[in-house]
Structures are given as structure tokens and as C-alpha cells.
Structure 1
Amino acid sequence: MSEKGDDESRALGRRTVLGTAAALGAASLAGCFAGDDDGEGTTADSNAVVVGPGSEYSYAPEEVTTSVEETITWTWDSPNHNVVVRSQPEGAGWEGTDGDASTTYGEDHVYEYAFEMPGTYEYYCQPHEGLGMVGTVVVEE
């Protein structure tokens, strides 16, 4: 094959790779910007929290805003995490995950709670609080 043919093949190959990468990037970002009809770009299931996403020491998202009686669902993506209550409105009865502060749960564990009182609820993961694994639920009327 001539040098010109090799250059054209390489250019076509690069264009194909770049075009495919651009299409995949756009498709993956589409989920990030898909929203409900409130125009704020929030995802359809804004009451879902991933615990330890990608083996990170975090909750995703770190803060959730919901309404009274709406259920928040925490789903574990990595092991050895929990949800321990730091603060809540006076008279609220949220206790976090079952067990004491040292009880942790494994991958695919699911914890749900429907908050009955408006206010701000703060929580943390006991083994990873020092690494910044903290979260907040804001419950509105």
C-alpha cells in the first residue's frame, strides 16, 4: 500500500475512534442531564442514595431533599457501611440502619425510611466518618 493510502487509513481510523468516543460520551452524559419536569436537571429517582459508590467513602448524592412521607432508599454499592443518625428534628424517631453504630452492611443491602416530620436530618457512616462519609436529608412539607 502507498504512503498516501496508509495516511488515509490512519486518518479514517482516528475519525472512527473519535466519532465513536464522542457518541458514547454523549450517550452517557444524557443520563446525567435527564430530568423530571421541574427543569432543574434532577434525576427521576431523586429519593435514591448510593452508599459507597464505586468503593468510595461517600453517599451519592450527599444531600437529598424530599417531602414528608416520601421514602428514601439507600442501596449499598460497596461493603462495610452504615447509616448512623447524627441529628434530627426534635421529636423525630429516625434510628438509621438496624443495630448499633458498629453494625455495617454489605454490597447490595437496601435500607428504606419514610420521614414523617419536616426538617434536616444529618447522618454518617460510623467506620468512615473521618474520611468525610456524611449525608443530609432535608424533608419539606
Structure 2
Amino acid sequence: MEWTRRRAIYATAAACTLAGCLGDDGDDESELEEPDTDIDSLREEYDVADRTGDDPVEIAVDPDGARFDPDGLEIDASTTLRWAWEGSSEDLYPIAIPDECTWEGTDGERTAGDEYDRVFWAEGGYVYGSRDGDGEEFTGALFVHDDGEDE
């Protein structure tokens, strides 16, 4: 069999495809782990601002580059969060959320002046993210407390 350029390219592509399908057995510790979402873990990683008692609460998106301001929040259940874009970013999406929460985030590019509101009622920790124009991910955290009105 003669190895032409075309056959060499096909063989290389097939080998790369096969290598990608083989993967690993899942024991690789470098795989992404779901972040801790308890309040103590969130406080260690984020500068958590206590906004309990406030409604609505605003989060600036991309105010001076790829970040949220504040990047961490504590709020009461049933508080409205308003993300307000000061720059541009792609998608706002959940990374880790309580099981009871059905939030799926937003799709598409957002630019300065855009806003997105969401009421969070499920207690617990949330980690969410977005990507800047270069595809770099930045994250924020939220901890929702029971507001005590049901007691």
C-alpha cells in the first residue's frame, strides 16, 4: 500500500479520534471537581458581601475586566438578583447549584447596559460563571439563607 499524503492525513485523523474516544477510567485527579458550596468554603474563595435584608441586589458583570462585583453574596431566600452588564460577556450559567433549583442561566452575548433578573428561593450555595470575549471564565458565588418568614 502506497502512503499518499491523503492516506497519511486520514490515518492521523483516525488515530486522534480513537485516542479521544478511549479517554481514561475517571481516576484522574486533575478532572474538574464540583466546587464546595457551603458558606464557609465560599467565604474562603470569594469576598462574600452580606446583602441579607436587601431586595433587589445588583451584581455588576465585567466592570473592569472579567469579573463580577461583588463576586460573592449572601442573600435571603426570594431576593431578586439583578446582573447588570458594564462590559460584555458570553452566557451567564450555573456551575454548582442546589438540587431544588432549576436555574439554567442565560444564552448568548450580553453587552453594557443589559440586565438579567432572577429570584432565588432555594437555600444553599451557588457557583455561577460567565466568559469574557477571549473565552476566559470568571466565576461568582451566592449563598441563599432562609429568610425566616416561614417560622
- Specify whether residues 129 and 42 from structure 1 end up closer, same or farther in structure 2 by C-alpha distance, changes over 3 A only: farther
Q: Which residue in 1 is equivalent to 2:71? A: 62
Q: Which residue in 1 is equivalent to 2:131? A: 126
CA distance in structure 2 between the aligned counterparts of 1:77 and 1:93, rounded to whole angstroms: 26
Q: Which residue in 2 is equivalent to 1:86? A: 95
CA distance in structure 2 between the aligned counterparts of 1:71 and 1:46, rounded to whole angstroms: 5
* Structure whose CA Rg is larger: 1
Task: Answer whether contact 2:89 2:131 (CA < 8 A) is retained.
Answer: no
1:52 aligns with 2:62: yes
1:53 maps to a residue whose letter is P
Number of residue-to-residue matches in the alignment: 96
Task: Answer whether contact 1:51 1:81 (CA < 8 A) is retained.
Answer: no
1:110 aligns with 2:143: no
TM normalised by structure 1 equals: 0.59
CA distance in structure 2 between the aligned counterparts of 1:72 and 1:42, rounded to whole angstroms: 13
1:80 maps to a residue whose letter is S
Q: Secondary structure of 1:73's partner? A: strand
TM normalised by structure 2 equals: 0.56
Higher fraction of helix: 1
1:64-91 deviation line (CA, Å, top 9, x unaligned): 1101100011000002343111010012
CA RMSD of aligned residues (A): 2.6
Q: Which residue in 2 is equivalent to 1:95? A: 104
Structure 2, unpaired ranges of 5+: 1-48, 147-151
Q: Which residue in 1 is equivalent to 2:142? A: 137
Task: Answer whether contact 2:80 2:120 (CA < 8 A) is retained.
Answer: yes
1:94 maps to a residue whose letter is W
Q: Which residue in 2 is equivalent to 1:14? A: none
Q: What stretches of structure 1 move > 3 A for 4+ residues in a row?
A: 41-46, 126-132
Higher fraction of strand: 2
